[in-house]
Structure 1
Amino acid sequence: MSNTLSGLRIGFAMTGSFCTFNSCFQQAEILRGYGAELIPVMSENAACVSTRFGKAEDNLARLRNIAGREVITSVYEAEPIGPKNMTDIMVVAPCTSNTAAKLTSSITDTAVTMAVKSHLRRGKPVVLAIASNDSLMGSAKNLGELFNRKNYYFVPMVQDDWTNKPASLVAEFSLLPNAIEAALSGIQLRPIIYHSSPV
């Protein structure tokens, strides 16, 4: 990894694929280690729902501590991101199929979808780290639309359990820094979908 990420202002937005939170927190720490500045965002569900994967208050605190600033958790707080030119690139990690569908339809009813919309007003890149059990079923059309949408890029994905979850796709989160670096140059990392982990 080059020093491309040093000083980069990355919007780091998390939605409710709770089982992948730990992987996403690890990548946030890595990005900070490269010298990036993180503007943290959580959807209302990501910030408020406790699950067997962790308590809501602990998740919120962990992202706040990694970023070194308060987490944006409302549509109101996210709206100024674009007008104030707060971000160079926006990452949604994890990005659920629900959020992907909303982005496809330009629905802005959560802190994360508003953050993306506000960021996009300046024509800057958005990197999606998909985590969904129905990516290759009902959600496939939304991913297909976003594949062809200007300014959207994807972290390469893995069919994580094609026997028991044949429609599931999960981002290979370890490739997030590379996906960010590529997106800054207008490049989509390929292959987009792996059949087994590339690392």
Structure 2
Amino acid sequence: MNKKKILFGICGSFCNHRQVLSELYWLQQDHDITFVLSECVRTSSTRFFRKEEFRSELEKLSDHPIIDSIVESEKIGPAKAHDLMVIAPATANTVSKLANGIYDGSVTLAAKAMLRNERPVLIGMSTNDFIGASGANLLRLSARKHIYLVPMYQDDPLHKPRSVTSRWDLLKEALDAALQEKQLQPVFTETAP
């Protein structure tokens, strides 16, 4: 099988990192993955992961150095080396910046480079404010060419009624669809399995 070259951006929403990491163990078997970390992920240790531990887990899944600066992200566009970019988890902040053309970090600049090269960008969002300003930004961004979404659901409608998170169990299926320039449907699901 011909492995696709995947650029994988990881932003905050630290409570989702473990689930995304479990999906990455499967994805790396079929794809050649290069990671791009947001500044927040690069510099923050949280109750979910110490930054060194998380980085070490990612390094085990890729033969490529981790991209974690704007200087390194700037090389992505001219290299045209990747078939698709995934941003998972994508925070409301990252989605807002992409929707408004702000490319001031390693992940957003990498996404801009992929879109410049007319390559698909798959976004797996997780936010406590989707049914608010964040949702409007994601929907506006999703109307653009080459943008695809990992299906999502309300993760705790009773206690966090504005919150959504992506169906990480559908990440591989959404990635395969985006590689064919298709949106996996439905975009909004009732619950996770």
Q: TM-score range by the shorter chain?
A: over 0.9
**Superposed counterparts of 1:1-199, under 5 Å:** 6-34=2-30, 36-197=31-192, 199=193
Superposition RMSD on alpha carbons, in Å? Answer: 1.0
Cα shift readout 1:113-170 (whole Å, capped 9, x = no counterpart):
0110111111010000001110111211101101211110000001110001111110
Unmatched segments (≥5 aa) in structure 1: none
1:43, 1:110 within 8 Å by CA — same for their partners in 2? yes
1:94, 1:130 within 8 Å by CA — same for their partners in 2? yes
Return the letter of the residue paired with 2:153: V
Unmatched segments (≥5 aa) in structure 2: none
Normalising by structure 2, we get a TM-score of: 0.97
Task: Using the aligned pairs only, state the percent identity.
Answer: 36
Cα shift readout 1:10-66 (whole Å, capped 9, x = no counterpart):
0011001100001111121111112x0001110011111011001011111111111
Q: Secondary structure in 2 aligned to 1:192?
A: coil
Normalising by structure 1, we get a TM-score of: 0.94
Q: Secondary structure in 2 aligned to 1:138?
A: helix
Instruction: Tell me the distance in 2 between the aligned counterparts of 1:108 and 1:13.
Output: 13
4+ runs deviating over 6 angstroms: none
Q: Secondary structure in 2 aligned to 1:153?
A: strand
Residue correspondences, number: 193
Return the letter of the residue paired with 2:191: S
Cα shift readout 1:74-133 (whole Å, capped 9, x = no counterpart):
011011112101210000010000000000011111110011011111101000000111
Q: Secondary structure in 2 aligned to 1:186?
A: coil
Instruction: Tell me the distance in 2 between the aligned counterparts of 1:195 and 1:174.
Output: 14
